Structure 1
Amino acid sequence: MEYNYISIEKYVPDIDSYFAHTSKSNQNKEKLLEHMARTKKYMELIFHGKNIDSILENIFNEIKYNNSYLKPYVKEFIFELFINGIYLHDIGKINANFQNTRMKNPIFKNHIGDSNHSMNSSVLFSNIFYVKLNKLDIDDDEFDFLYYCIYLFSYLISKHHGKLNTILSYGEAIDNFNKAFKEYYISGYIENVEENIIALIEDQLQEIYNSISPKGTTFILAKLFYSILIGSDYYATYEYMSNNNINLEDMGSMNNYIKEITKKYESTDVYKKIKQYSLYKNNKTDVNPFTKTPINELRSNMFLEAAKNIIKYSEKNIFYLEAPTGSGKTNTSINLALNLLNRDKKLNKLFYIFPFNTLVEQTADVLNESFGKIVDVTIMNSVTPIKTNIQNKSNNREMVDYEKGYLNYIFLNYPLVITTHVRLFNMLFGTTREECIPIAHLANSVIIIDEIQSYSIKLWKEMIYFLDKYSSLLNIKVIIMSATLPKLDILLNEKQAEYVNLINDRDIYFKNTLFKDRVQLDFTLINNPLQGEDIDEKLESLIIKIQEVWESRGRCKILVEFMQTKTARIFYNMAKEKWKDKYNQKRVLELTGSDNKNVRKDIIHNVKHTLKDCLLISTQVIEAGVDIDMDIGFKSISFLDAEEQFLGRINRSCMKDEKGIAYFFNIDEAKAVYKNDYRMNQTLIDYNIQQMLIDKDFTPFYKKTMEDIEKVKNRCDSKNFEITLDEIDSLNFTAIENKMQLIDDQSTVDLFLNVKEKINGVVIEGKQVWDKYVDLLHDMTIPFAEKKILLSEVKSDMNYFIYSIYVRRNKKGNSIKPNDYNDVIGELYYYEDGYRFIEDDKFSKEKAYELLKNNFCESDFI
């Protein structure tokens, strides 16, 4: 499509008299025309770097209005709207008040009033294109649809210094603007402001969006437009403020590295052995490198089968990799990603998405090893500082370009990113400017999502719906992998044929004795429940059982998982007391969500590398993402895929001389933890569910789960999926953002404890970190980008001192707040005497809850 830009001089003859920005570091004010030119330049850079032309063509080809596909001239008009909406997004700065009060433009020194420019820009853009639209010889349907597109882009322009809410709110904004002497604010515009710049009322909008199909296309189009608009504006402003350009290579494309990292990966011992095995399998050599390690032969078969299928179906967008624990999913996923990136040159970024920070760190290590650090592996999460850019060195001193570092962070200007599912959801559904920028940079990328079953089940249908839309329209290749993989496309009936199972017959692997029988399952503690009237007595019975197993097995590593932190702590104290004389006390360990990074790291290291036998007591934090290899497991039951994830911590290597054993019991009330999770309707109390776990056949379990989800999504209440579809089509961005929150709206407060912790080998006192954080917050002299990066560095250290507690609400619905603190910032409470909450070198929730006026209850310890 051609890039036909509006000649703005036709509408504002004295355009060269207006300014767009001023800068303390730049003596020359930036003229509005200069900013528009820079915006256009960077929009075209993004278009070129992310192949946006083909993305837009893909979207336009998908849209139907009243069941008719768009004609070529309609698509061309929308494309013209798209690029000019971005080019003209600041044209409202011709507001004389803006020029006087904000730009100190002497030509307009007598003008005093509202300096708004975003709404002015949207109205001027609308006017220019309404006039053009009225001159087109098109039918009524085409006119209505293009009228709506003008209205949509105009709304998004009006929000380029705010956040998205709903297009319905735009009508009121237009009415208010019309009442506020619009001619006064746009006095430099010589054309008549058409009277047809009117607000569309809700009924009109609904009639139009009901006529658009398929569902969700305009939602994606709107998010893409807003992303590129904000992104182009950011880049253009950065160039003026810093006198530095952004180039194509700055956008972090994998195309710059793909050949080299592929070569490096294929030189690794693992890949070379798989390649040799492939030759053996195809009768091209007599040497089988895995004769003595049949488990590696099985892993290689899976690796090769998945690679064959992704090549065969590379034009598809969503792929499932269902593989048992210990089968080498990460290595297989690396090969799959490289296959896709090498085959389609439009694909130029790689993302790994995880639900847990432990998986983020572990995978970063694997990727760095596989790619030899040829490409930077960028971690983006709440505990990792933002990367900075070294601009140059002066007198042996490094000069940091904070502005560019922050730009890279919000634009995802990295070829390979590892981040969390929360960050991904913020990109897809967020409404702020910085949350929306990455959408354009997700286009033409490969996204690998791990452990998808851990996402909130109430969002499964919405999640796969949006993954389907984003991937098909933005050319995103999504690989979903897990040992317990719900086939979410079942929830989208018409889409099932379009999703690719990379493993044709999962049973070949799951039911192979090397994987299936590596852990022996024991349900006797469920069928014959632990003896005791109360929980303490039941835990005493459990200790006796564990001691019997420990002594009969000999030196071994035992893992015990509870659903609630409180139960884990009670059992931990019991075990320490019972075995303090008989065994070395260091063999009894506790790992829960209350432990900070140092404690967690030390415990996992000791369990993996130091201790030959131990008793590790934990909560659900152990189920996925923790790379440990235990001999025996005891678990309080929850739902089936959680039980299988737990089994992944037992005989994980599949290489132990003796089989692992897992015992299941029922002490904690799992429904109190997994509220409203439909999977709790199927637990190991049921013999049939026990058999599913033995047979590694989760199909009936997920079939029932999907049926339960469908029942909820078809109910006549706010959870009905049709309501979600209506919110999507009506562009109610706020409602979608609220609905797609991964973390339930539970009230939490964070306690910052002044204790001593070792950070990067240096012992630091919490007070030092707290004071640095407070000073940074209050320092108004630090430029925005530099402050963001410095805060990210301090927050990374703060995580060592912060502990969260859940708090209930009072009768008025307000959260109960802690007391007796020394300082508070937002919901973060500082305690000078942090050691008052430390017991046995660990954070004590019981002592923390003494800060609340009301006594704590069972649910506080979930």
Structure 2
Amino acid sequence: MEHAKAHSHIRRIIYVIPFTSIIEQNAEVFRDMLGDDAVLEHHSNFIPDETDWKSKLAVENWDAPVVVTTNVQFFDSFFANKTSKCRKLHNIANSIVIFDEVQAIPVEKLQPCIEVLRELTANYGVSAVLCTATQPAISKSASFKSGLELEGKEIIRDVPYLFNALRRTRQTWLGPRSHEEVAEQLRQEEQMLCIVSTRDQALQLFAEIEDMDGAFHLSALMYPEHRTQVLKKIRKRLAPDNPQPCRVVSTQLIEAGVDVDFPVVFRCLAGMDSIAQAAGRCNREGRRELGEVFIYEPENMPSAGYFRQTADSAKRLFQPFAEKLLEPECIRSYFDDYFWKNQHRMDEDSILECCRAGTQRAEFAFEDIAEFRMIDNANQAIIIARDDEAAELVRQLKYAEFPKAILRQLQRYSVQVYPNQFRELKKGWLNQPVPGLDIHVLQQDNAEVLYSKRTGLQCEAPEGQGFIL
């Protein structure tokens, strides 16, 4: 869907995606098409070379024909009060901004983001392209009066017809299932993917099938390079010219545009946007008449919070929209039940109230407005020096004049953990190789104990296990 105001000159294309897990993959596709010099990558995993002032300046200014970035980098900049974050803003004018998976904007932050889009398209010559398989996420309607009033049009015409013509899966609601019951069904499939909502669910379910041929686990407890290696093995087993057993248990990270094609997908109960993403990993290449998507309610479903709320809204639709869960009418009903009824929560930090007060007084509380964060992330990164390459990079870090270039490479070997997990691991398991630099490393010897080649980082030290220093 496009939201635009006519303008005479397009300065650049800005591609915005919510998931850092696939942004490097997508940026590489653009580079293959347009060349390295045409594409600028800017996200939390990207650290420009400190020795190259042109690179640093380009990142701060977004001075390139194509910019690949994240929701965090894009929206946080509009509410920031630091010059380094705001320096890029003038280069957004007269651009085409493509928002991939626009429904992934957190509901608590949605209203300030909508106002940014409204202002850019009305007064700064920006064309906004809103991409999502679960329209209508943020467009104005009778149920969502504060949504974005689209002056443009659907790029894809006759959406209901296309949904039917391109239907690739059949969705079936299984009801409540225990880990053992789900595992028994997984064992009956030669090739299948099961997606769960939490790391603990993934570990518990994988433990039920890990003895089988072609069993794999994927979660954010595995560092990116490790996940890449596992995905290569998975794709090799799924290759149509030489299919082999492949049974994968994964958290939501595989839903974020990861290119895999399974004949059968299981999804534990979640919001309709997540179910739609899971279905996108099933019969992706259209090699079968219909792939099978099974949705079940796990025994350890959260009692409250985001996962519970979105799951309850989706569950209400399973009977009236049986086997038609991905059609536009069902998606609209989902947003009507969950998303739009949370309009009172769509500016959790009262950012717009601060902006309105500043307009009235001609005096803006920039420090308060800068409290806006797309993601409130208090997690701590830990570098896993399990591989020789990671261990060598950590060694070089101690003597580097410009450490950011090495830190960028070490992003591929890092895992994010919650604060309580970090406190436990810090009790003798982590090293801080460079004094004064907030970098914590799980060295090779400790990694042999706390890092599994199959499931990644174990966040609790084994009972009775002595520290390896």
- The residue number in structure 2 matching 1:149 is none
Tell me the equivalent position of 2:193.
559
**AA matched with 2:104:** S
Q: Which amino acid aligns with 1:571?
A: L
The alpha-carbon distance between structure 1 residues 721 and 507, as it changes in their structure 2 partners (threshold 3 A), is farther
- Relative to structure 1, the CA distance from residue 652 to residue 447 in structure 2 (aligned partners, 3 Å threshold; closer, same or farther) is same
TM-score relative to the length of structure 2: 0.84
Q: Which residue is 2:414 aligned to?
A: 802
Mapped partners of 2:25, 2:441: distance in 1: 31
The runs of 4+ residues in structure 1 deviating greater than 4 Å are 491-495, 668-674, 718-722, 814-817, 824-827, 848-851
The alignment status of 1:545 with 2:185, answered yes or no, reads yes
What is the alpha-carbon distance in structure 1 between the residues aligned to residue 52 and residue 131 of structure 2?
36
Unaligned stretches of 5+ residues in structure 2: 465-469
Q: Which whole-Å CA distance do the structure 2 matches of 1:706 and 1:404 have between them?
A: 43
Which whole-Å CA distance do the structure 2 matches of 1:374 and 1:827 have between them? 31
Contact in 1 for aligned 2:5/2:125 (Cα 8 Å):
no
Distance 1:408 1:818, change over 3 A: same
Q: Give secondary structure in 1 for the equivalent of 2:184.
A: helix
Report the counterpart of residue 834 of structure 1 in structure 2.
Answer: 447
Mapped to 2, the partners of 1:721 and 1:431 lie a distance apart of 13
CA contact (8 A) 2:14 2:95 kept: yes
Q: Residue in 2 aligned with 1:503?
A: 156
The residue type paired with residue 48 of structure 2 is I
Contact 2:358 2:365 in 1 (8 A): yes
1:737 to 370, 373, 392: 370
Query: How far off its partner does 1:588 sit?
Result: 0.5
Question: Distance between the aligned counterparts of 2:136 and 2:456, measured in 1?
Answer: 36
Native 8 Å contact 2:206 2:217 kept in 1: yes
Choose from 232, 237, 246 the match for 1:614. 246
Q: Higher Cα Rg: structure 1 or 2?
A: 1
TM-score for both structures, normalised by structure 1? 0.48
Match of 2:268?
Answer: 636
Does the CA contact (< 8 Å) of 2:108 and 2:346 recur in 1? no
Question: Please, which of 1, 20, 38 is the counterpart of residue 357 of structure 1?
Answer: 20
Note the C-alpha offset of 1:385. Answer: 4.7
Question: Does the alignment pair 1:431 with 2:81?
Answer: yes
Aligned twin of 1:723: 353
* Partner AA of 1:434 in structure 2: S
Change over 3 Å in CA distance of 1:616–1:469 after alignment to 2: same
Report the RMSD for the aligned CA atoms in angstroms: 3.2
**Structure 1 residues 492, 827: closer, same or farther in 2, change over 3 A?**
farther
- State the shift of 1:616 in Å: 0.8
Secondary structure of 1:500's match? coil
Q: Which amino acid aligns with 1:442?
A: I
Say which SS state the counterpart of residue 496 (structure 1) adopts.
coil
Report whether the alignment pairs 1:675 with 2:309. Answer: no
Give the equivalent residue in structure 2 for 1:26.
Answer: none
SS at match of 1:738: coil
Paired residues of 2:103 and 2:137 also in contact (CA < 8 A): no
Deviation at 1:416, TM superposition (A): 1.1
State the Cα distance separating 1:770 from its structure 2 match: 2.5
1:31 is aligned to none
CA–CA distance in 1 between the matches of 2:147 and 2:128? Answer: 18
**1:738 Cα deviation (Å)?**
1.7
The amino acid that maps onto 2:45 is V
Structure with greater proportional helix content: 1
Counterpart-to-counterpart distance in 2, 1:622 and 1:494: 29
Aligned to 2:467: none
Structure-2 change in CA distance of 1:850 and 1:500 (3 Å): farther
Conservation of the 8 A alpha-carbon contact between 1:511 and 1:696 = no
**1:845 corresponds to 2:458:** yes
Q: Does 1:769 align with 2:393?
A: yes
Aligned partner letter, 2:280? G
Counterpart residue identity of residue 592, structure 1: S
Q: Deviations over 1:726-753 (max 9, x none)?
A: 35635222322323x12135x4223233
* Structure 1 spans left out of the alignment, 5+ residues: 1-305, 317-343, 389-400, 531-537, 551-555, 580-584, 757-762, 780-786, 852-862
The answer as to 2:56 corresponding to 1:406 is yes
Deviation at 1:626, TM superposition (A): 0.6
Equivalents in 2 of 1:841, 1:544: separation in Å?
A: 20
Displacement of 1:375 after TM fit? 5.6
Alpha-carbon contact 1:596-1:800 (below 8 Å) kept: yes
Q: Is the 8 A contact 1:713 1:720 kept in 2?
A: no
| Count of residues in correspondence between the two structures | 446
Once the two structures are superposed, residues 228-257 of structure 1 have per-residue CA deviations (whole angstroms, 9 ceiling, x without a partner) of xxxxxxxxxxxxxxxxxxxxxxxxxxxxxx
Question: How far did 1:842 drift?
Answer: 4.3
C-alpha contact 1:519 1:650 (8 A) present in aligned 2: yes
Counterparts of 1:440 and 1:752 in 2: how far apart (Å)? 36
Q: Distance in 2 between matches of 1:836 and 1:510?
A: 49
Q: Calculate percent identity across the aligned residue pairs.
A: 16
Task: Specify the alignment match of 1:135 in structure 2.
Answer: none
